[in-house]
């Protein structure tokens, strides 16, 4: 299996760092690249080929993913909200993608089990309604993982201090999916 990993937002935070915790300065782009690189390392060790790209251009990300011969696409993000109490993990897949939903379930379950975050569930992105660009413009099963809320003090602590655990959970979710697909074929 070949996996295309997309740590969200711009490399080095320029021009877009994504969400930022105002109290601690923790930036989404930094968490995403750390988790993405570690997840790639764990996947490679398990014999799963990976390609990783963090870019400010959504078009570049989708073009690279579609040209990569990847079997799946995983975009890694941190959530944020004005309401500080908002917390938890959610994973998005594209409407009508059975395998995308299966992948989202596998990653969501691993993250929630490993880190004991609030399970916000798997969400469906519908093109033209709430379609997330990278989900609706990639040719393979695709998910967007919102690891936790960078704006919530408890979740921010997980994002700051448990990046390796997050990466392991993402990698395990991907290998769980691979095992399910092997059983489906």
Q: What is the pLDDT of residues 85-121, one digit of tens each?
A: 999 999 999 999 999 999 999 999 999 999 999 999 9
How many whole angstroms separate alpha carbon 117 and alpha carbon 28? 17
> What is the CATH T-level fold of the domain 2-184, as seen in this structure?
Aminopeptidase (3.40.630)
How many whole angstroms separate alpha carbon 41 and alpha carbon 66? 22
Strand segments, DSSP code E, in the chain are 2-7, 49-52, 72-79, 89-94, 119-125, 142-149
Determine which helix (DSSP H) or strand (DSSP E) holds 133, and give its type and residue range: helix 133-136
Sign of the alpha-carbon torsion through 12, 145, 168, 6: negative
Query: Is the distance from CB of 77 to CB of 144 less than 8 angstroms?
Result: yes
Within a 10 A sphere around the Cβ of 161, how many other Cβ atoms? 9
Q: What is the pLDDT of residues 149-171, one digit of tens each?
A: 999 999 999 999 999 999 999 99
CA angle 116/104/169 to nearest 5° reads 40
pLDDT band at 185 (very low <50, low <70, confident <90, very high): very low
């Amino acid at each position: 299996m070949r996996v295309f990993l997309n740590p969200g937002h711009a490399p080095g935070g320029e021009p877009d760092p994504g969400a930022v915790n105002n109290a601690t300065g923790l930036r989404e782009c930094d968490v995403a690249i750390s988790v993405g690189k570690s997840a790639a390392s764990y996947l490679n060790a398990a014999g799963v080929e990976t390609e990783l790209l963090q870019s400010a251009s959504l078009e570049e990300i989708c073009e690279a993913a579609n040209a990569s011969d990847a079997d799946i696409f995983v975009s890694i993000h941190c959530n944020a909200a004005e309401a500080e109490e908002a917390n938890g993990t959610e994973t998005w897949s594209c409407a009508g993608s059975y395998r995308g939903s299966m992948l989202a379930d596998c990653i969501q379950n691993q993250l929630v089990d490993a880190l004991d975050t609030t399970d916000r569930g798997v969400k469906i992105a519908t093109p033209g309604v709430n379609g997330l660009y990278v989900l609706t413009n990639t040719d393979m099963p695709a998910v967007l993982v919102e690891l936790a809320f960078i704006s919530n003090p408890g979740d921010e602590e997980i994002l700051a201090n448990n990046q390796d655990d997050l990466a392991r959970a993402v990698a395990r979710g991907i290998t769980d999916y691979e095992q399910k697909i092997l059983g489906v074929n």
